[in-house]
Amino acid sequence: MAETLPNSAIADAFEELGDLYELDGAIVHRVLAYRAAARTVREAPVSIAELARAGRATELAGIGDTLQEKILTLLDTGTIPAMEKLRAKVPPGLIAITRLPGLGPKRARLLHAELGVDSLDALREAALAGRLRTVKGLGAKFEASVLDALERGVGERPAPRLLLPRALELGRALADGLSERGGAGTDVRIAGSARRMADSVKDIDLIAVTRKPVTLAKSLAALGEIESVASAGRAGAKGRSHSGVSIDLRIAKPSQLGNLLQHFTGSGKHNAALREAAVRGGLHVSEYGVYDDAGGTTTTCASEQEVYALLGLAYIEPELREDRGELAAASLLSRPTHRTHSAHSALPELIALPDIRGDLHCHTVASDGRNTIEEMALAARERGYEYVAITDHSASHGFGDDVSPEQLRRQIERVREVDASIDGIMVLAGSEVNILPDGSLDYEDDLLAELDWVIASVHTAFTMGEEAMTERMIAAVEHPLVDAIGHPTGRLIERREPYAVDMPALTCAAARTGTMLEINANPDRRDLNDIHARAAAQAGASIVIDSDAHGVERFDVMRWGVATARRAWLTAEDVANTRSWERFAKLRKQTRQ
DNA sequence: GCCGTTTTCGGCCCGACTGTTTTCAGTCG
């Protein structure tokens, strides 16, 4: 039937199959296998449909012959027989019930079997009538907590998440406040997804060492950011911030700091994979230490480095701990050199902020920015950059911020003047040109040819279908005067979904034509995201990280773009604007060199 | 359902918490 399907559709099917199998009482490992496969498919840099047609989907971790067959059946018939069978057997409303806290598949099944509960509404009715407590193994407290959760709308509304800058700001404020109150010898670290520099986080994990644990735990309640504290003891404290985020403070003995930090930095999947691999070597990892079957002893670690070293692994940077191949890459292989054997891992040496030598996307008062060309140039120079491109919006941008062709010609002249008048930084004349719905650009080619640097971005008609959007963007990629594609998926984290575009196809076209793809560093965007940026680099496309600054202070958002690049396994070599302008030029497409 | 210094069957991470229990199942991160 369907020639092809996006990876997301295949992943959704596996996700649903996992949920249905779980509710049907399948063993947990089969359920986990479906969920792992769904994640692999969703994050894959290539078309899984095409891969399966070629019989090569089994090359991916977690996809075996059975699942490849199911993909092919889904492509050919539009469905999977097992899914149809399970849908008929398991009420679909039960999946929503398992989203409630304290309600997993077993209890959902139990409630369905005993009380006929098959939806959130039926659950509410049964709870209000006091029937939940009549089920063996459940009681009045359970019933009350279910009603409370339904009351609060849990399961309907997703939990609030903080964007990374706000999360780190909150985490830092809490850590500083605690350090102050904990007295000498207190050291508080941020762990969890904030430390891994995820796009957004739903709770803040803090790990502390201190001489006065009880005092430190109690002092959490005294911090201005904290709304309430549920528990506090010598092991730590749990609370909530005024912004609705859970705060988890754990207090470690200095000798176990490494174990606790490693455990609470996660991710959960990284830790699960780490422990599974360790078991094969007779070691058992927990937040308290590493237990060795052979000696029957537990070793504690003051640092994370020691934890990884005990397992025969190189140190893995927090940004890489997502179970995306980092464990295999961290295996220490003894590579013989001509003199000696040295331990060596395949982990990348990740890019860092000081590697960035220039910023190629920013705005001035000519469009919707807040500062002049000169102010922006000086601010870029203060960051130590060697070059900056002024890239205001183009002729059709709208919002009163559009730049007509005549205005752009004058802007180019002004950029030349500023460049001549300021030492120590090269100021480039550029533009962020709209990609119109038909794939054309909104300046004539002869004008674009006068620019040093052209970014093409989509700012209108976000909702067109995947095929049309992909054609539209590839037309811009293939334009000989386009240097880079700005914020390629258009997502706004926690606010707007990416538009439908075939990323493997776009990435492939970018690599083929030498068009660069941007990691827009604005923390609301971080677009390309980590998955796409990694795939793009692997496909041979050049990556450029830009601030998209609309004011002088916004050059500082570069760090969030670098964080995304690190999560994408990128080295300085993988990112074009870590080079001097002369060396950068060699990476540009032939028509732009 | 996947996968292999336990290779084609029999395993497949670790610990805390909660509520309901006389020893633990289910859920969660």
Which protein residue has its CA closest to C1' of B11? A29
* Domain at A499, CATH number: 3.20.20.140
The integer distance in angstroms from the CA atom of A194 to the C1' atom of B29 is 15
In a domain, A550, yes or no: yes
Select from A419, A439, A437 the least CA-distant residue to A428. Answer: A419
In a domain, A336, yes or no: no
Residue written as tokens 């054609």?
Answer: A471
**A4 near A75, Cβ under 8 Å?**
yes
Identify whether the C-beta of residue A178 lies closer than 8 Å to the C-beta of residue A206. Answer: yes
Nearest nucleotide by C1' position to the A280 CA atom: B5
* Domain match, A403 and A550 both: yes
Please, are residues A146 and A127 in contact by the beta-carbon 8 Å criterion?
yes
Calculate the angstrom distance between C1' of B10 and CA of A313. 28
Does one domain contain both A59 and A193?
no
Residue nearest to nucleotide B18 (CA to C1'): A102
For A55-69, give the DSSP string.
T-GGGSTT--HHHHH
Would the pTM of this model clear 0.85, i.e. be above it? yes
Nearest nt to the A26 alpha carbon by C1': B1
Q: Residue A336 has what pLDDT? A: 41
The domain that holds A304 is classified in CATH as 3.30.210.10
What is the CA angle A581-A586-A591, rounded to 5? Answer: 110
Domain count for chain A, please give it: 4
The nucleotide whose C1' lies nearest the CA of A69 is B1
Give the tens place of pLDDT for each residue, A460-507.
999 999 999 999 999 999 999 999 999 999 999 999 999 999 999 999
**CA-to-C1' distance for A162 and B17, Å?**
26
Asked if residue A441 belongs to a domain, the reply is: yes
List beta partners, residue A390. A429
Q: How distant is C1' of B15 from CA of A432, in Å? A: 52
Q: How far is the CA of A27 from the C1' of B10 (A)?
A: 14
Tell which residue, A410, A411, A398, has the closest CA to residue A363. A411
Rounded to whole angstroms, the distance from the CA of residue A28 to the C1' of nucleotide B26 is: 13
Would you call A47 helix, strand, or coil by DSSP?
coil
**Amino acid sitting at position A149:** A
And the tokens for A320?
A: 């890489």
d(CA A412, CA A389): 11
Residue with CA nearest C1' of nucleotide B29: A268
Instruction: Please report whether residue A36 resides in a domain.
Output: yes
Residues 6+ apart with CB under 8 A from A87: A20
Q: Across-strand partners of A393?
A: A432
DSSP string, A388-455: EEEEEE-TT--TT----HHHHHHHHHHHHHHHHH-SSSEEEEEEEEEB-TTS-BSS-HHHHTT-SEEE
Instruction: Tell me what pLDDT residue A338 has.
Output: 39
Last residue of a domain, one of A133, A152, A171: A152
User: What is the CB neighbour count within 10 angstroms for residue A101?
Assistant: 12
- By C-alpha distance, which of A453, A452, A427, A413 is closest to A375? A427
Residue with CA nearest to B1's C1' atom: A30
Q: What is residue A340's predicted lDDT score, i.e. its pLDDT?
A: 39
Interatomic distance A101 CA / B1 C1' (Å)? 27
The answer to whether the beta carbons of residues A564 and A163 sit under 8 Å apart is no
Nucleotide nearest residue A98, measured CA to C1': B27
Q: How far is the CA of A265 from the C1' of B21 (A)?
A: 34
- Asked whether residue A454 falls in the same domain as residue A563, the answer is yes
Residue A225 CA, nucleotide B16 C1', distance (Å)? 26
Strand blocks (E) in A276-402:
283-286, 289-292, 297-299, 333-336, 341-344, 358-359, 387-393
| Residue at a domain's end among A203, A234, A252 | A252
Query: Nearest nucleotide by C1' from A230 CA?
Result: B17
CA distance linking residue A211 with residue A195, whole number of Å: 24
Are A291 and A364 found together in one domain? no
Q: Are residues A471 and A568 in the same domain?
A: yes
d(CA A238, CA A81): 46
Please indicate, yes or no, whether residues A274 and A367 belong to a single structural domain of this protein.
no
CA of A266: nucleotide with nearest C1': B29
Q: Tell me, in Å, how far CA of A214 is from C1' of B9?
A: 51
* A331: DSSP letter: B
- Our CA angle for A348, A352, A358, nearest 5°, is 125
Q: From the CA of A231, how many Å to the C1' of B10?
A: 43
Our measurement of CA A275 to C1' B23, in angstroms, reads 28
Exposure pattern of A233-244 as b/e (b: 16+ CB <10 Å)?
Answer: eeebbbbbbeee
Same domain for A63 and A146, yes or no, is yes
Per-residue pLDDT of chain A (593 residues; tens, 9 = 90+): 567 899 999 999 999 999 999 999 999 999 999 999 999 999 999 999 999 999 999 999 999 999 999 999 999 999 999 999 999 999 989 999 999 999 999 999 999 999 999 999 999 999 999 999 999 999 999 999 999 999 988 767 777 799 999 999 999 999 999 999 999 999 999 999 999 999 999 999 999 999 999 999 999 999 999 999 988 988 999 999 988 899 999 999 999 999 999 999 999 999 999 999 999 899 999 999 999 988 889 999 999 999 999 999 999 999 999 999 999 999 876 444 334 334 678 899 999 999 999 999 999 999 999 999 999 999 999 999 999 999 999 988 877 788 999 999 999 999 999 999 999 999 999 999 999 999 999 999 999 999 999 999 999 999 999 999 999 999 999 999 999 999 999 999 999 999 999 999 999 999 999 999 999 999 999 999 999 999 999 999 999 999 999 999 999 999 999 999 999 999 999 999 999 999 999 999 988 88
With distances taken from each CA to the C1' atom of nucleotide B20, the closest residue turns out to be: A137
Q: Which nucleotide is nearest to A279 (CA to C1')?
A: B13
Task: Using the C1' atom of nucleotide B24, identify the protein residue whose alpha carbon is closest.
Answer: A137
Same domain, A530 and A583: yes
Report d(CA A344, CA A132) in Å as an integer: 58
Residue range of the domain that includes A69: 7-152
Among protein residues, the one whose C-alpha sits closest to the C1' atom of B28 is A102
Q: Is A344 helix (H, G, I), strand (E, B) or coil?
A: strand
The answer to whether residue A1 is domain-embedded is no
Q: Are A440 and A475 in contact (CB under 8 A)?
A: yes
Query: CA-to-C1' distance for A329 and B17, Å?
Result: 35
Using the CA of A58, give the nucleotide whose C1' is nearest: B2
For B21, which residue's CA is nearest its C1'? A137
- The reported pLDDT for the residue numbered A319 is 98
- A460: in domain: yes
DSSP A202: S
Position A593 scores a pLDDT of 81
Whether residues A402 and A446 fall in one domain: yes
**A543-546 and A516-520 beta bridge pairing:** parallel
Tokens for A379?
């601010």
The confidence score (pLDDT) of residue A333 equals 60
| Angle, alpha carbons A281-A287-A292 (nearest 5°) | 30
Query: Which residue's alpha carbon is at the shortest distance from the C1' of B25?
Result: A137
A31 nearest nt, CA–C1': B1
With CA of A246 and C1' of each nucleotide, the nearest comes out as B29
| Phi, psi at A243, each rounded to 5° | -85, 5
Which CATH number fits the domain that encloses residue A84? 1.10.150.110
Residue A391 tokens, joined: 């890239």
Task: Return the percent helix, strand and coil in chain A, to nearest 5.
Answer: 45, 15, 35
Please tell me whether residues A392 and A532 are part of one structural domain.
yes
The CATH number of the domain where A211 resides is what?
3.30.460.10
Give me the phi and psi of A507, to 5 degrees please. -60, -40
Do A446 and A547 belong to one domain?
yes
> Under a CB-based contact definition with an 8 Å cutoff, are residues A115 and A131 in contact?
yes
Phi then psi for residue A284, to 5 deg, are: -125, 120
Q: Which two tokens stand for residue A226?
A: 């904290």
- Two tokens, residue A20: 């249905």
Rounded Cα gap, residues A477 and A24, in angstroms: 48
> What is the rounded distance in angstroms from the CA atom of residue A405 to the CA atom of residue A394?
8
Last residue of a domain, one of A234, A252, A270: A252
Kindly state whether residue A369 falls inside one of the protein's structural domains: yes
Instruction: Give the nucleotide nearest to A61 (CA→C1').
Output: B2
Q: Burial of A265 by CB count in 10 Å (0-12 exposed, 13-18 middle, 19+ buried)?
A: buried
Residues sharing a CB contact under 8 Å with residue A53, sequence separation 6 or more, in sequence order = A72, A75
Å between CA of A280 and C1' of B6: 9
- Is the preceding omega at residue A528 within 30 degrees of 0, hence cis? yes
* Nearest nucleic acid nucleotide to A291, CA to C1' distance: B14
Q: Which nucleotides of B are covered by protein (CB under 7 A)?
A: 1-3, 5-6, 11-15, 17-21, 25-29
Residue with CA nearest C1' of nucleotide B2: A62
Residue A38 lies in a domain: yes
Same domain (yes/no): A148, A168: no
Å between A59 CA and B28 C1'? Answer: 32
Protein CA at A193 to nucleotide C1' at B15, angstroms: 20
